[in-house]
């Protein structure tokens, strides 16, 4: 593929590579935030275990909320809205603010959601499969009275009773990571669903796969859990309730401000259904003079007059 053909996909490649790097950063920061939330909650020294767990849950959720959804909110509501226009770009420390591509921010939001959401699901499933296997193998190797390799170790394990073999499995983990994973997935499937409508389908597929992975993990790789009486899912219900309310507002704002849905409806009402006239009516002109003294006019997607002021159509919108 020639350099000229690659240049046409430069913006898309930059957006995709940025989302992949962000997924790596999110995965690393998630571990840092888990440690930080636990440390802060321990310093607060709550009297009861219920207070400790509730406050730890809230802190972990707030950290993960900004960790996973921060880029989505930035692309949807910030990126491109403060970057300026040709000849008057906004700069901070002599660095020009980022702006969306010709296709608008909705497409970049969908790309970012797809990469982070699907990448997170793939990484979580790999971790849920490999980490319990490694923990179970290490626990059996540690507690096996006969230290051997290959067939010797298998023969030693076969001599033990089933309950002794179960006792050599890895210790059961709490369900906090499982709850947090489902809540984060719920946010991806609801808060920006207008930009990535098939997110609920991928969430369903992931849950079906995870049911089988959890079945193997809890029946073959971990010790039997200690039963604890719980009246409900606790503070997670309140978090899900708030997320549902945030999802309604977020989707309404994406439709109103990020997408072109409102502007298209208003254009059809005031003009016609022609796509050509719609595009032409939403292009602003900027006149530039080159070093050679040649005057040229370029067009960009915005609602501005020739002098840079906002047009009457912008005020209608």
Tokens at residue 132, please?
């319990």
User: Model confidence over 161-207: pLDDT tens digits?
Assistant: 676 667 777 777 778 888 898 999 999 999 989 888 999 999 999 99
- In the chain, the percentage of residues whose pLDDT exceeds 70 is 74
Helix axes 49-77, 10-44, angle to 10 degrees: 160
Residues of 114-150 as b/e, b for ≥16 C-beta within 10 angstroms? bbbbbbbbeebeeebbeebeebbeebbeeebeeeeee
Please indicate whether residue 41 or residue 81 has the higher confidence score (pLDDT).
41
Are 78 and 105 in contact by the 8 Å Cβ rule? The answer is no
**CB-based contacts of 82: which residues, under 8 Å, 6+ apart?**
90, 97
User: Model confidence over 108-161: pLDDT tens digits?
Assistant: 888 888 888 988 888 888 887 787 777 777 766 666 544 444 454 444 445 466
pTM for this model (two decimals): 0.77
Over the Cα atoms of the chain, what is R_g? 27
Indicate if the pLDDT at residue 61 is higher than 90: yes
Whole-number mean pLDDT of the chain?
78
């Amino acid at each position: 593929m020639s350099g000229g053909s690659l240049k046409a996909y430069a913006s898309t490649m930059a957006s995709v590579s940025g989302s992949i790097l962000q997924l790596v950063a999110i995965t690393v920061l998630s571990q840092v935030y888990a440690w930080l939330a636990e440390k802060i909650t321990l310093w607060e020294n709550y009297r009861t275990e219920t207070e400790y767990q509730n406050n730890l849950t809230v802190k972990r959720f707030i950290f993960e909320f900004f960790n996973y959804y921060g880029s989505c909110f930035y692309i949807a509501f910030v990126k491109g809205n403060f970057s300026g226009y040709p000849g008057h770009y906004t700069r901070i420390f002599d660095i020009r603010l980022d702006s969306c591509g010709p296709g608008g921010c909705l497409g970049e939001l969908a790309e970012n959601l797809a990469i982070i959401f699907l990448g997170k699901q793939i990484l979580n499933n790999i971790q849920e499969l490999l980490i319990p296997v490694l923990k179970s193998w290490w626990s059996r190797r540690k507690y096996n009275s006969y230290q051997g390799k290959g067939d010797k170790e298998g023969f030693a394990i076969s001599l033990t009773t089933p309950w002794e073999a179960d006792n050599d499995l890895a210790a059961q983990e709490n369900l906090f990571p499982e709850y947090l994973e489902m809540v984060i997935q719920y946010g991806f499937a609801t808060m920006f669903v207008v930009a990535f409508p098939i997110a609920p389908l991928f969430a369903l597929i992931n849950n079906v796969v995870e049911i089988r992975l959890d079945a193997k993990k809890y029946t073959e790789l971990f010790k039997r859990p200690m039963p604890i009486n719980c009246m409900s899912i606790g503070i997670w219900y309140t978090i899900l309730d708030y997320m549902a309310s945030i999802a309604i507002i977020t989707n309404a704002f994406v439709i109103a401000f990020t997408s072109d849905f409102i502007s298209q409806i208003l254009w059809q009402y005031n003009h016609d259904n022609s796509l050509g006239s719609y595009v032409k009516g939403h292009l602003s002109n900027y006149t530039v003079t080159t070093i050679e003294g040649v005057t040229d006019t370029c067009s960009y997607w915005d609602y501005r007059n020739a002098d840079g002021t906002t047009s009457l159509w912008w005020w209608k919108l």
